[in-house]
Amino acid sequence: MTLTSTHLGAASLSTPAMFPVSVTVANKSGGTAGKVQNGDIITFVWSQPIDESTLCSTWTNLVSTQLLTLQWSVVAGTSPNNDKLSVTGTSATCVGGFHVGTIDLGSAGYDTSTTNIDFPTTTNSLSVGASTTTLTVTLAGQKNGTAGTVSSGGAAVWTPDPALKDRSARTCGSNLAQSTATVQF
């Protein structure tokens, strides 16, 4: 896996071992484009096999797939800030939290209320491969808030949680991942 980057000056640039490869926010089949709803899918990819216990405290590296139901929320941004998507629920399984990070959704129009749009029965499916890790999040159980429809915005930007590490105890540092889409969901 390589990281494509540009740098200024004569200094060489090296690719970090652990970094967020990509974040994808996809509309469910048959859903309304630009509107968050049940069935929408978020996919996170890291450049290394992660230490699963740094994502969820009771998980171990002995299995290559994990499954957890946990609440995610679209948190309304206050102008000029964009809405964010993050884990807002707790789980007895993940003491201390689920350390995936947050996504800036690139627009303040996904949640048009002052209340979070909550997805309390969201499925989180982790797959750890030989050289990467993928987390697939499927939103479910939508309640609260008011979902708006966004027709133009910016790319989604994933800021990984600094608590998450790979199996050599490296973090993503200050590296971010950005979606290619400018309208999410």
Supply the range of the domain harboring residue 78.
23-178
Q: Flag whether 6 is in a domain.
A: no
**pLDDT exceeds cutoff 90 at 157:** yes
Total structural domains within the chain: 1
Residue 168, SS3 per DSSP: coil
Select from 104, 110, 111 the least CA-distant residue to 157: 104
**pLDDT exceeds cutoff 80 at 42:** yes
Q: What is the dihedral of CA 164, 60, 88, 131, to 10 degrees?
A: 50
This prediction has a pTM of 0.90
**47-88 tens-digit pLDDT:** 999 999 999 999 999 888 999 999 999 999 887 899 999 999
User: For residues 131 and 1, is the Cβ–Cβ distance under 8 A?
Assistant: yes
Q: Flag whether 185 is in a domain.
A: no
